[in-house]
């Protein structure tokens, strides 16, 4: 049992250091190309922190278990919004620049509506649906980069530290940081599961704690690191971008590889739980976070506390149903 414990600790170290490198590289990139931190957070950082979900879903699809992507995508959106982002602005309320925040939010709800229509009407995700989601992902990346360059959102001038860092070093920090986050998350999940089994923890608890937390650890570590370094906009952009990517990239890729039907094993009042609870909760937590932010241009501590309560209730429901 010594080896799993040591690997678990190594995974935690890789996550922490990977988060440091990735945030440093991302903010350096934002200053270098005069792009707002929120835009960088919603594109580059989000792709990096969504890598574990992409790898898990793609592997599952190739092995004939692409239905895993359904719960993985929705569950990650709920966790990212009602747990990770909620912790971020419950600890440190932050201002939101509506102009840069609006784009990822619009794209997210466009993808979410398309996703929900497939789930409620067809009850099946076809390969064409997956390709459409991947095209939406490509459109979002292209539009975000184009919009950032066209409008020239205000960012600080390059600091001396940025000028001293060559572009190759910045990109190396991004790549190594993303790799460290992905590897660290996998080590933490795999060895945390082994430790839990050795301690006699039930499988259902393992699945809802170690595995669920493990896939969201990159977002959590990046959010905490960004918050500690005073880059709350980067953290918020990362969360919204990661939520979008969970729908268009994670689900899109797995569906394109292997189409699947909406899970119907569990039901509530004759309706599949995934349709009666999971998707409505996903819409609720995102609406509760984004609408007040766009209207008041800030995220408050009460919002964070309420979202944390919603997430706790959602988890309890998963245990007792």
Give the mean model confidence (pLDDT) for residues 65-82. 76
* CATH assignment of 2-320, among 3.10.20.90, 2.60.120.460, 3.90.580.10, 1.20.1420.30: 1.20.1420.30
Q: Is the pLDDT of residue 254 over 80?
A: yes
Reported confidence tier of residue 111, pLDDT bands at 50, 70, 90: very high
Pair of tokens at residue 215: 């896939």
Structure confidence at residue 208 (pLDDT): 41
Sign of the dihedral through C-alpha 30, 34, 37, 42: negative
Task: List the domain boundaries for the chain.
Answer: 2-320
Please compute Rg for the chain using Cα positions: 19
Structure confidence at residue 156 (pLDDT): 45
Q: Is the pLDDT of residue 320 over 60?
A: yes
Residue position matching structure tokens 């919204």 = 240
Pair of tokens at residue 25: 């590289």
Q: Is the pLDDT of residue 60 over 50?
A: yes
Structure confidence at residue 232 (pLDDT): 62
Structure confidence at residue 293 (pLDDT): 84
**Tens digit of pLDDT for each residue in 119-159?**
999 888 899 999 999 999 899 888 877 776 666 554 444 44
Q: Exposed (0-12), middle (13-18) or buried (19+): which is 202, by Cβ within 10 Å?
A: exposed
Residue position matching structure tokens 């719960």 = 71
């Amino acid at each position: 049992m010594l080896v799993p414990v040591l690997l678990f600790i190594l995974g935690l170290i890789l996550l922490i250091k990977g988060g440091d490198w990735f945030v440093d590289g991302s903010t350096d990139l934002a200053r270098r190309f005069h792009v707002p931190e929120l835009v960088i957070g919603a594109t580059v950082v989000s792709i990096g922190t969504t890598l574990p979900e992409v790898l898990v879903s793609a592997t599952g699809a190739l092995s004939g278990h692409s239905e895993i992507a359904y719960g993985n995508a929705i569950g990650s959106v709920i966790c990212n919004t009602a747990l990770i982002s909620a912790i971020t602005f419950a600890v440190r309320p932050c201002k939101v620049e509506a102009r840069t925040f609006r784009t990822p939010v619009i794209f997210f709800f466009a993808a979410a509506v398309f996703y929900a229509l497939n789930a409620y009407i067809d009850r099946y995700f076809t390969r064409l649906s997956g390709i459409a989601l991947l095209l939406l992902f490509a459109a979002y990346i292209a539009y975000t980069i184009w919009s950032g360059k066209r409008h020239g959102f205000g960012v600080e001038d390059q600091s001396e530290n940025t000028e001293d860092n060559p572009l190759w070093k910045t990109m190396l920090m991004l790549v190594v940081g993303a790799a460290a986050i992905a590897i660290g998350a996998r080590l933490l999940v795999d060895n945390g599961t082994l430790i839990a089994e050795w301690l006699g923890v039930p499988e259902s608890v393992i699945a809802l704690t170690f595995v669920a937390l493990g896939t969201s650890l990159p977002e959590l570590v990046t959010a905490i690191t960004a918050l500690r370094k005073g880059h709350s906009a980067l953290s918020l952009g990362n969360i919204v971008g990661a939520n979008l990517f969970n729908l268009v990239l994670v689900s899109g890729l797995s569906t394109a590889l292997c189409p699947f039907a909406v899970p119907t094993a569990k039901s509530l009042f004759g309706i599949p739980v995934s349709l009666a609870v999971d998707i409505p909760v996903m819409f609720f937590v995102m609406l509760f976070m984004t609408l007040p932010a766009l209207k008041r241009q800030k995220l408050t501590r009460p919002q964070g506390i309420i979202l944390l309560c919603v997430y706790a209730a959602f988890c309890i429901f998963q245990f007792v149903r």
